[in-house]
Amino acid sequence: MNEKLTALAARIRTAPDHDALDRIIGTIYTDNDLSRDQRADLKALIDERHGELTFAERPKTPLEKDAEKRRDKALTGMGIDPRPPDRQTAVLGRMLSEGFTEGDIGAGVTAIKKSAKVDMVVQDASKLYNVPAGFILLFDGKPYVLKEGMLWKLKEFGFRSVDVEITPDPDHEGGFLGEAKITPNLRDKDYELLEKLAAQPEMLREIYRDLMRPTVAHSSANKDNLKPHQLKYAREMCETRAILRAARVYTGCGMSTPEEEA
């Protein structure tokens, strides 16, 4: 069984197009050897691969271009040149020809190496998690996805509803606990699959429950994990954290958001 799951997962991750994924999902839901949880895990991989293919096919939107500009501005504010290394090398060439000192050029080389490392980490994270680079910032060597980027990724995946429940934290005065549920939206191929199973009501009900199973995540916000200026917004921070954590699990994004950090 483990070999079968590994083979199916490999087929999903290397599927060249959406049609190939549709054929694989048909195989998954007609294989009686797979458990409900195994089907759910494989479906999550299929959803992630659909997102990768969709992202690869689409051009940058004005919002993404604007996000990249804001990222460049943020990097510039931190003293990091956001320009690609090849253009920076040209700048150093001009510095040499214009008589800059060795110290100036040494500082320029250091800036290039720092910027190239930042750009490499951001670009790698962008490709790995299918998030536009403009929505990613690097802090202390670790990539973070901005809240706007996480919501963009959630929208790209598609969903039926996002429900959040916030309750007071009994262990922390003025603190809150949150639970977010993201319910998926059925796609055309899901409806086609359910139609094929109309003659098998038990299997139909089981698969429908699998398809509509919500992704659940929890959060907390209190004086121990909020900055002083955030305490008066503890409820809102708790809600935001719950939604973003659920969205990260739902979309398979491994990067944290700044809002989740204490």
Spatial separation of the C-alpha atoms in residues 64 and 149, rounded to whole Å: 9
Average pLDDT over residues 31-46: 80
Dump pLDDT digits (tens) for 70-85. 766 765 665 656 555 4
Dump pLDDT digits (tens) for 167-179. 999 999 999 999 9
pTM of the complete model: 0.56
Going from the C-alpha of 113 to that of each of 55, 116, 134, the distances in angstroms are: 29, 5, 20
Spatial separation of the C-alpha atoms in residues 260 and 169, rounded to whole Å: 17
Dump pLDDT digits (tens) for 197-215. 888 888 888 888 888 999 9
DSSP-assigned beta bridge partners for residue 161: 183
Does the structure show a pLDDT above 90 at 114? no
Average pLDDT over residues 176-202: 90
Spatial separation of the C-alpha atoms in residues 242 and 179, rounded to whole Å: 6
Tokens 């048909």 sit on residue: 26
- What tokens appear for 132 in the block? 């536009």
Burial annotation 231-247 (CB, 10 A radius, 16+ → b, else e): eeebeebbbbbbbbbbb
Spatial separation of the C-alpha atoms in residues 193 and 213, rounded to whole Å: 16
Does the structure show a pLDDT above 90 at 162? yes
Spatial separation of the C-alpha atoms in residues 44 and 36, rounded to whole Å: 12
| Dihedral sign, Cα of residue 213, residue 24, residue 2, residue 53 | negative
Dump pLDDT digits (tens) for 214-223. 999 999 999 9
Beta-carbon neighbour count of residue 11 at 10 Å?
A: 18
Which of the four pLDDT bands, split at 50, 70 and 90, describes residue 112? very low
Beta-carbon neighbour count of residue 129 at 10 Å?
A: 24
Long-range CB contacts (within 8 A, 24+) of 203-211: 203/29, 206/36, 207/29, 207/39, 209/36, 210/36, 210/39, 210/40, 210/43, 211/43, 211/184, 211/186
DSSP-assigned beta bridge partners for residue 166: 178
Does the structure show a pLDDT above 60 at 157? yes
Does the structure show a pLDDT above 70 at 27? yes
Q: Which residue has the higher pLDDT, 236 or 59?
A: 236
Helix residue ranges per DSSP H, 14-165: 18-30, 36-57, 62-77, 85-97, 102-129, 147-157
Dump pLDDT digits (tens) for 250-261. 998 888 888 887
Going from the C-alpha of 27 to that of each of 8, 33, 47, 112, 155, the distances in angstroms are: 9, 11, 15, 50, 27
Does the structure show a pLDDT above 60 at 141? yes
Q: Are 237 and 221 in contact, with CB atoms under 8 Å apart? A: yes
Q: What percent of the chain has pLDDT over 70?
A: 75
Spacing of C-alpha 53 from chain mean position = 14
Which of the four pLDDT bands, split at 50, 70 and 90, describes residue 183? very high
Nearest to 190 by CA among 220, 158, 217, 166: 158
DSSP state, 58?
Answer: S
